[in-house]
Homo-oligomer: A and B are copies of this chain.
Amino acid sequence: MKLYDFKMAPNPRRAVMFMAEKGLDIPRVSVDLGSRAQLKEDYARVNPMQQVPALELDDGTVITESVAICQYLEELHPEPNLMGRTPLERAQVTMWERRMEQQGLMAVSEAFRNDNPFFEGRSLSGPVDLDQIPALAERGRKRFSHFMRQLDGFLADRPYVAGDRFTFADITGFIVIDFARVIKMRPPEELANLTRWYAEIGSRPSAKA
């Protein structure tokens, strides 16, 4: 088994942090997004969507999409549990994880990719070249600002994103807040719940994996 990743990209980091929490030592192959290696034929054979991460199994089968990769690893290595122990808890972790992704990660990504010169003509990852849209960068910043305030509210009455214990939803949430460095947006100090939670998750060894 090996994981194709790139250390600066948030989606592979979800899988890498997940693996570290599980204590899994899966070999990693860096796909250099800096030189657009993900768009070259070699990698397009691994993942036709030309995105990282991708998990290649020993028989050559490839699983892409960080959520699918983590789900697979959770089933193979159930402990420590990160995705829920009952049908209801599993649904709640999925729900919260998706909120982190849809409201948070998508916002930061649209702010970053529509503003940074490196992404000229590449405003989305994947196989289609798309022009940057400056208004979309602005929209992303507005959304992310709201996301941080909303997440702070959710964290007012519970220690972790999905409830009373650390789950995959915290992994995605933490990576989103951390990734927002690229658009120079940091959690404002007055968001005390968010600040407390962000520091706590950041102190886990998996945050440095």
Contacts and interface: CB of A to CB of B under 8 A. Distances in A.
How many copies the complex holds: the figure is 2
A64 interface: yes
Contact of A63 (B71, B91, B143): B91
Contact of A133 (B64, B124, B133): B133
A113 to B, nearest CB: 12
Interface SS of chain A: helix, strand, loop or mixed? helix
Interface residues of A, number: 39
A176 to B, nearest CB: 16
A95 B133 CA distance: 28
Given A48-B150, A68-B94, A133-B136, 6 more contacts: A68-B95, A71-B90, A75-B90, A133-B135, A135-B135, A136-B136
Interface of A: 48-49, 57, 61, 63-65, 67-69, 71-72, 75-76, 87-88, 90-92, 94-95, 98-99, 103, 123-124, 126-128, 130-131, 133, 135-136, 139, 142-143, 146, 150
